[in-house]
Amino acid sequence: MADSPEEIYKSIRKIKLIGLVLAVFTVLTVGLSYVELPTHSLNMLVGMILATIKAALVALIFMHLNHEKALVYKVLAFTAAFAIALFVLFYLSNSEGLIDEGFENSTAVIEVQE
């Protein structure tokens, strides 16, 4: 870590900058909820990308993972690939409604016999 006062000051400036970037990305995420992109799935995709960037910054800077050995990066690469696959599956699952052949009249009123 930091040994001299100059290195400590530089580290504090870096942490403040990352905190500011995280605050800006949080404002962007909240602002995204008020903006309607062409599809709802696109809104979710952009929101997930912003969340991923924020999570990566927190992990790398505040959890000091940017100073770890190569094995950690291999594990993180697998985790990132798994997370991307989950994001893609989540995106695809909401991109088009499910169609079931047996329920064409799902809004029909069902009469209850007494």
For the chain, domain boundaries:
5-95
Q: What is the pTM of this model?
A: 0.58
CA distance 114 to 112: 6
Local confidence band at 101 (pLDDT 50, 70, 90 cut-offs): low
| Averaged pLDDT score across all residues of the chain | 80
Contacts with 26 (C-beta within 8 Å, 6 or more apart), sequence order: 54
Are the C-beta atoms of 46 and 37 separated by less than 8 Å? yes
Query: What are 24-40's pLDDT values in tens digits?
Result: 999 999 998 888 888 87
pLDDT higher than threshold 80 for residue 21: yes
Element (H, E) at 5: helix 5-34
